[in-house]
Amino acid sequence: KEIVVSGIRSTGFLHLGNYFGAIHNYIRMQEEYNCYFFVADWHSLTTHPDPKDLRGNVYRVLAENIGSGLDPEKVTLYAQSDIPEIAELYLLLNMLAYKGELEKVPTFKDKVRQNPENVNAGLLTYPVLMSADILIHKAVKVPVGKDQEQHLEMSRNFAQRFNNRYGELFPEPQAFTYGSQLVKIPSLDGTGKMSKSENQMATLYLADDDDLIRKKILKAKSDAGPTEMNSQKPEIIENLFALMKLVSAPDVVTGYEKAYNECTIRYGDMKKQLGEDMVKFIAPIREKAKSIQEDTAYLQKILKQGAEKARESAAKTLGEARKLIGIHYY
Ligand code: ATP
């Protein structure tokens, strides 16, 4: 079976972008591939989370993944920090990563702009740690959203550089989705992507209660209606349709598309419909995740079991990497 790796940072509540960019693919992939999925707790440290919150965030990410349909019996599910081999591979790969190329990464530049007070080396070398996460299991496919496409290109570069310098070890990992293109779930205010750590009213979380879901959708940016057709940028209208296509029945979507083309659309109605369909989609995941999250003993068992399996695979790769580099003395 082909090897798959993917991770989600423990930076807060999971949202629809995480679901459709990542988890949705995980659930299908678990039937066909040898999957390693992890909670990226080290990656979350770039923003210095309160130690009191970290543990709860890790449990939540785990519970929300399982609540969405991920089966810990079918995949290896673990916390990144339980695999010290990843940190060692990260150190080794850092020697092959150049400061200039890391500084040019658009997500790094964004973070510098957003928070110039905290431009730490962890932030700069984020793509190197991400590459270590992937290469440690010699993964060939990585289910991610569109926002990670460029990081994966860097992972391929690092793999290639290692192979060229020391000998063939790593396959080149490819971003993967079942659809024809990587997914980007837009935020409800039309300004970017949904994200755990940005505008909370513009992001739909898997933990949102029914009324909050309805409220957020009603507040989403859209045209005022038939009288002011296309007064907003078309991408914003696209956003509502994009969300509707994910959760509403196909005939409902076609109905609104027709109304849009005929200039008879009422965005208020469309939002109400989308709100109800979204509630139907999110509520069962939320409730399941909630009950799983309360069962700490169960989550701890999964983490321990997953760490054991993941370390086995990680230790094997790291041993090979050390040997190729020349780190073997007795
Ligand atoms: P943060 O806000 O902390 O940066 P995030 O919400 O962007 O977090 P990550 O933990 O960095 O999420 O990413 C987890 C996975 O979810 C990745 O595969 C990423 O590509 C995917 N993802 C995140 N946001 C979106 C989105 N809006 N659309 C599609 N995929 C997304």
Q: What is the ipTM of this complex?
A: 0.96
User: Catalytic site residue 111?
Assistant: yes
pLDDT band at 225 (very low <50, low <70, confident <90, very high): very low
Query: What's the confidence (pLDDT) of residue 229?
Result: 47
Overall average pLDDT of the 64-76 stretch: 97
Query: In 10 A of CB 262, how many CB atoms?
Result: 9
Residue closest via CA to ligand 1's atom 7 equals 195
- Residue 170 scores a pLDDT above 90: yes
| Strand, helix or coil for residue 61 | helix
User: Catalytic site residue 104?
Assistant: no
User: Catalytic site residue 193?
Assistant: yes
129 with 90, same domain: the answer is yes
Mutational pocket test of ligand 1: of 27, 47, 130, 147, the residue with most ligand atoms within 8 Å of the beta carbon: 147
CA distance 128 to 196: 22
Whether residue 274 lies inside any domain: the answer is yes
Catalytic residue among 1, 74, 193, 233: 193
| Shortest-distance atom of ligand 1 to CA 194 | 27
309 with 169, same domain: the answer is yes
pLDDT band at 180 (very low <50, low <70, confident <90, very high): confident
Q: Which domain holds residue 266?
A: 208-290
Q: What is the CATH number of the domain that holds 95?
A: 3.40.50.620
Whether residue 221 lies inside any domain: the answer is yes
97 with 235, same domain: the answer is no
H-state helical runs in the chain: 16-18, 24-32, 41-44, 51-67, 84-94, 99-103, 106-114, 121-124, 126-135, 149-166, 210-219, 234-247, 250-261, 267-294, 296-325
273 with 309, same domain: the answer is no
Query: What's the confidence (pLDDT) of residue 228?
Result: 47
276 with 299, same domain: the answer is no
Whether residue 170 lies inside any domain: the answer is yes
CA distance 258 to 45: 47
Whether residue 189 lies inside any domain: the answer is no
As annotated, the binding site for ATP includes 9-11, 17-18, 145-147, 185, 193-197
- Residue 147 scores a pLDDT above 50: yes
| Shortest-distance atom of ligand 1 to CA 11 | 3
| Strand, helix or coil for residue 232 | coil
12 with 75, same domain: the answer is yes
| Shortest-distance atom of ligand 1 to CA 197 | 2
Task: Say how many Å lie between the CA of residue 17 and the centre of ligand 1.
Answer: 6
Query: What's the confidence (pLDDT) of residue 199?
Result: 80
Whether residue 198 lies inside any domain: the answer is no
301: which strand partners? none
Whether residue 256 lies inside any domain: the answer is yes
12 with 120, same domain: the answer is yes
**CA distance between the termini of the chain:** 34
> What are the tens digits of pLDDT across the range 289-327?
999 999 999 999 999 999 999 999 999 999 999 999 999
- Residue 70 scores a pLDDT above 80: yes
Which residues have CB under 8 Å from 202's CB, separation 6+?
A: 187, 188, 189, 191, 194, 216, 220
178 with 310, same domain: the answer is yes
- pLDDT averaged over every residue in the chain: 93
63 with 97, same domain: the answer is yes
Q: Which helix or strand (DSSP H or E) is residue 78 part of?
A: strand 76-79
| Strand, helix or coil for residue 70 | coil
Q: What is the CATH number of the domain that holds 248?
A: 1.10.240.10
- Note every long-range contact of 152-157, with CB atoms under 8 Å and residues 24 or more positions apart, other chains counting: 154/97, 154/101, 154/105, 154/127, 154/128, 154/130, 155/127, 155/130, 155/131, 157/101
| Strand, helix or coil for residue 34 | strand
81 with 228, same domain: the answer is no
- Residue 239 scores a pLDDT above 60: yes
Report the number of distinct structural domains present in the chain.
2
pTM of the model as a whole: 0.92
Task: Say how many Å lie between the CA of residue 264 and the centre of ligand 1.
Answer: 35
53 with 151, same domain: the answer is yes
- Residue 209 scores a pLDDT above 70: yes
Catalytic residue among 141, 196, 216, 221: 196
- Residue 217 scores a pLDDT above 50: yes
Query: What's the confidence (pLDDT) of residue 193?
Result: 87
pLDDT band at 39 (very low <50, low <70, confident <90, very high): very high
The set of protein residues with a Cβ atom below 6 angstroms from ligand 1 is 8-9, 11, 17-18, 20-22, 144-145, 147-148, 183-185, 193-197
